[in-house]
Structure 1
Amino acid sequence: MTAVAAADEALVNRADQLQKLRQQMAAISGKVGGDRSAAGHFPEALPDAQSLLPGSDALARSIGHVLRRGTVAVAGGARSLPLEVVASVTAAGGYAAIVGMPEVSVLAAVERGADLSRLALIPRPGLSAVEVASVLMDGMDLVVLGLGGRRVTSTSARAIVARAHSNGCTLLAVGGDWEGASVRLQAQITGYDGVSACGLGRIRGVRTAVRVRGRGGREVCGSRGAIRSA
């Protein structure tokens, strides 16, 4: 097979995979459409309860109501934070997907209360992870995207940001940078429950401090908090 033929076949396979994914998301979107914002255009202004991402009160008390529908956020530091958000959203009846993060522990998500029937895992998307995440927005409330150390510029991100806004889906980028993100969350493990001062014992929980910053690096008022994970 020539290089040109191989490239053509790869493009066809990629198009087929994306088309199948779009069809699956269209089916999901039709089933859950009553629970999410109306299909098509996501309104500029919504009542506060409708504009918020589904989630537990405990998470909201820790980081505030900073994750809103139709926005892009970046999470750094402790990897437990994205799992806490996923667990919070799915436990509250929302739908979430994790893309491009093969290291994610499903058990850890379940231990935090995640509803696996509302969670899609695509650890190795094969195609462009950003492109797959964009398609998933048609049927999800939250998409967690592993960037693998990459930086997404505002120019290349324009289309997916518009899609997130249109579908009322929150994109949480992890393991990289997303230029122009509305919110940046930085999580740091501050301690463990069940461990004595001399380091003995069984870990029963993890304490995580979270700092939230808006555009321009300004810390969001009341954004510091702690998350306790079992």
Structure 2
Amino acid sequence: MRDAAAVQEVQRLRAQLERVQGRRLDAPVLPVHPAIGELLPGRGLRPGSAYSLGRSTSLLFALLAQPSQAGSWCGVIGMPGVGIEAAEHIGVDLSRLVLIPDPGPRWLAVTATIAEVLPIVAVRPPARAKDADVGRLAARMRERGSVLLVQGPWPQTEAMIDVDSPQWSGLGEGHGILSGRELTVTVSSRRFPVPRRNRMMLPASDGTLSTIPWGERGGENELEVSAMPPMRAVS
């Protein structure tokens, strides 16, 4: 009887949480590279959710790559320095990428409008948004099932994703050609008690994201769960 009562209580709490968040907790997620997916709640990007990112454009492209390849349109707003060739090398399908480099002072309204028609919208806010405006945008994202990727802090995010400790390979003693960059991707979310982090190549020698074989991770031979390092800008 106790087990049955516990199950009913869990179901009741889950239903209540789903009503508050406006989405099912077991709803399908948009796919991402497995190296990042194993760090995320649900192993992908949850429709109707917002994610806070560091300033790394490589990280942004890595998150857009598989959804765009799977047929999802992606919008990038307020990032005039975005490199199209770099995005393509990492795997973004440029035929499903919409760029709005300078949305002007009404950037939040532009973001909300784009979220009406595109399933993934990335934005770099030029200023802090009002709480009421953030709330209205969040409601619209949940209604449409869109994913919001924000470069910088953002309230009520599903997770915070950043990169740290980059190491370039390919250079000798003052000469050589850069062939890849090993770094740590860290994900912090209210859905698990401590942040998760993993080493990967971004970009790898072919320009894409790739995992690092366990024996080559410089001592990091398994998924790490540790305190989240400070956010740094790694492009």
Q: Same fold (TM over 0.5)?
A: yes
Within the alignment, does 1:188 sit opposite 2:164 as a pair? yes
Residue 44 (structure 1) aligns with: 23
Structure 1 residues 62 and 193: alpha-carbon distance in aligned structure 2, compared to 1, 3 A threshold: farther
Residue 188 (structure 2) aligns with: 213
Match of 1:128, SS state, is helix
Within the alignment, does 1:141 sit opposite 2:119 as a pair? yes
Stretches of structure 1 lacking an aligned partner (at least 5 in a row): 1-41
The answer as to whether partners of 1:59 and 1:88 remain within 8 angstroms in 2 is no
Residue 37 (structure 2) aligns with: 60
Q: Distance in 1 between matches of 2:86 and 2:165?
A: 16
Q: Distance in 2 between matches of 1:73 and 1:58?
A: 17
The answer as to whether partners of 1:71 and 1:171 remain within 8 angstroms in 2 is yes
CA RMSD of aligned residues (A): 2.5
The answer as to whether partners of 1:55 and 1:91 remain within 8 angstroms in 2 is no
Normalising to structure 2: TM-score of the pair?
A: 0.68
Match of 2:60, SS state, is helix
Match of 1:178, SS state, is coil
Stretches of structure 2 lacking an aligned partner (at least 5 in a row): 1-20, 208-235
The answer as to whether partners of 2:40 and 2:187 remain within 8 angstroms in 1 is yes
The percentage of counterpart residues that share the same residue type is 26
Q: 2:89 aligns with which of 89, 111, 128?
A: 111
Within the alignment, does 1:202 sit opposite 2:177 as a pair? yes
Residue 60 (structure 2) aligns with: 82
Residue 110 (structure 2) aligns with: 132
The one-letter amino acid of 1:129's match is W
* Alpha-carbon shift at residue 61 of structure 1 (Å): 3.8
Deviation string, structure 1 residues 118-142 (Cα, Å, up to 9, x no partner): 1100001235111111111122221
Within the alignment, does 1:152 sit opposite 2:125 as a pair? no
Q: 1:99 aligns with which of 77, 83, 89?
A: 77
The one-letter amino acid of 2:186's match is R
Residue 120 (structure 1) aligns with: 98
Q: Distance in 2 between matches of 1:207 and 1:138?
A: 36
* Alpha-carbon shift at residue 152 of structure 1 (Å): 2.9
Stretch of structure 1 that moved more, 154-163 or 164-173: 154-163
The one-letter amino acid of 2:96's match is R
Higher normalized helix content (fraction of residues): 1
The answer as to whether partners of 2:48 and 2:141 remain within 8 angstroms in 1 is yes
Match of 2:133, SS state, is helix
Q: Distance in 1 between matches of 2:131 and 2:200?
A: 31
Match of 1:93, SS state, is coil
Normalising to structure 1: TM-score of the pair?
A: 0.70
Q: Distance in 1 between matches of 2:39 and 2:187?
A: 10
The answer as to whether partners of 2:32 and 2:44 remain within 8 angstroms in 1 is no
* Alpha-carbon shift at residue 213 of structure 1 (Å): 1.2
* Alpha-carbon shift at residue 180 of structure 1 (Å): 2.2
The answer as to whether partners of 1:78 and 1:188 remain within 8 angstroms in 2 is no
The answer as to whether partners of 1:211 and 1:219 remain within 8 angstroms in 2 is no
Deviation string, structure 1 residues 82-137 (Cα, Å, up to 9, x no partner): 11112232122211100011011111101101111111000012351111111111
Within the alignment, does 1:172 sit opposite 2:145 as a pair? no
